[in-house]
Amino acid sequence: MQTVVRCRQCGKSYSAGVVNRDFEGVCPNCVAAFALFDDVSRSPLETVKSPPPPSDDARTTLFLTPGTLIQGVEIIEVLGQGGMGIVYKGRQQGLDRIVALKVMSDRLAGDAEFVKRFEKEAKAMAALSHPNIVGVFNFGIDAGRCFIVMEFVDGANLRQLLRERKLTPGEALKIVPQLCDALEYAHEEGVVHRDIKPENILLDRRGRVKITDFGLAKLANAAAHGTLTGLVMGTPHYMAPEQVEAPKDVDHRADIYSMGVVLYELLTGELPIGRFQLPSEQGTVDVRLDQVVLRALEKRRDARYQRAGEMRDEVSRVSEFIPVARMASRPPQVAAAGSPAAPPPAHRVEA
């Protein structure tokens, strides 16, 4: 027997088991509503003040109830939401396989330019076959909605893990080579991600790392602006300088810059914004990783690693010679009362 609870957003009653536990306390319609807002960084658990929620018609056309079928995939529950639509957990009936189903907002299927771009990017994603890249099984348009059927990763994204502070430097150094290996493969296939960040990096329960959403940075901008000409694609703080200064002249080295940001964040728990401390100045991190981070974060792309494989090899060489004791997470630093510690030297990355 399912428990009926009241939504913290709209006050309406709904069955608690329908929505994934990440959205506990929010009804399916309100979860769907967040996918229509421009600000997707806000959690659906936060109180909505502005913009006003869409009409009931807009919400119900996007939300798919459990049991709904889309091209042989049966909806099970909501997994998450973003600026273009909602991701569901589903079951591919013919193969009895659990999958992730990304369903775009129905308003996008009416845009001929978006549909053309969607088909092109989906084909590029489906052509990628690598153990560290989320596989794409199918895509198309069903009942006026663009959809992508993807590999289901039973785990969490890197952002969720960072919020829980579960990663040690040793764990970070095991993750980064896998990411670089996936990017090296994708770049050799002519595919640039353009939006490498913790939210797009998944870890399953066995510790395997997978990158998701290849090509969706282009689609997100097409959805928001109706055109792709000269648009900035990516996420602030993770974007290479050229993604802002010359968005039409971006190549695979933008992903390497983003990997530098991710590596720094994994090692320090912070972002390399403005004047920042080197990783080794913040804890038990090998000083050689400072140079790996700084090279990946070079403003001039010619000065960065030219291949993701180069960065992978450097990180692997460092990790092979770090004693386990030095890989342990550093304890919180608490200054003695009345004697605040002087800040160590800082470094700057020009963006």
pTM over 0.75: no
Examine the residue annotation and report whether 56 is marked as an active-site residue of this protein.
Answer: no
| Per-residue pLDDT band at 166 (split at 50, 70, 90) | low
State the average pLDDT over residues 295-314: 97
State the average pLDDT over residues 72-88: 89
Three-state DSSP at 36 gives: coil
Q: Which residues, in sequence order, are bridge partners of residue 80?
A: 87
State the average pLDDT over residues 97-113: 87
Q: Which CATH superfamily is domain 155-224+231-348 in?
A: Transferase(Phosphotransferase) domain 1 (1.10.510.10)
State the average pLDDT over residues 272-283: 92
| Per-residue pLDDT band at 228 (split at 50, 70, 90) | very low
DSSP label at residue 345: P
Options 181, 195, 213, 255, the catalytic residue: 195
State the average pLDDT over residues 18-30: 52
How much is the pLDDT for 84? 73
Residue 337 has pLDDT above 50, yes or no: no
How much is the pLDDT for 63? 80
Cα dist. 121→71, 179, 218, 222 in Å?
19, 21, 8, 12
Q: Which helix (H) or strand (E) holds 146?
A: strand 145-151
In the block, residue with structure tokens 């006026």? 144
Query: Mean pLDDT for the chain?
Result: 78
Residue 274 has pLDDT above 70, yes or no: yes
Q: Which two tokens stand for residue 227?
A: 């055109």
How much is the pLDDT for 284? 81
State the average pLDDT over residues 235-263: 94
Q: Which residue has the higher pLDDT, 335 or 245?
A: 245
Q: Which CATH superfamily is domain 19-151 in?
A: Phosphorylase Kinase; domain 1 (3.30.200.20)
Please answer whether residues 103 and 88 qualify as being in contact, where contact means their C-beta atoms are separated by less than 8 angstroms: yes
| Per-residue pLDDT band at 179 (split at 50, 70, 90) | very high
How much is the pLDDT for 25? 63
Name the residue ranges covered by the structural domains of the chain. 19-151, 155-224+231-348
How much is the pLDDT for 222? 52
State the average pLDDT over residues 294-309: 97
Residue 347 has pLDDT above 90, yes or no: no
CA distance 183 to 209: 12
Q: What is the DSSP string of 185-247?
A: HHHHTT---S--SGGGEEEETT--EEE--TTHHHHHHHHHHS--TT---S-TTTS-HHHHH-T
Topology agreement, domain 19-151 and domain 155-224+231-348? no
Please answer whether residues 253 and 193 qualify as being in contact, where contact means their C-beta atoms are separated by less than 8 angstroms: no
CA distance 21 to 154: 14
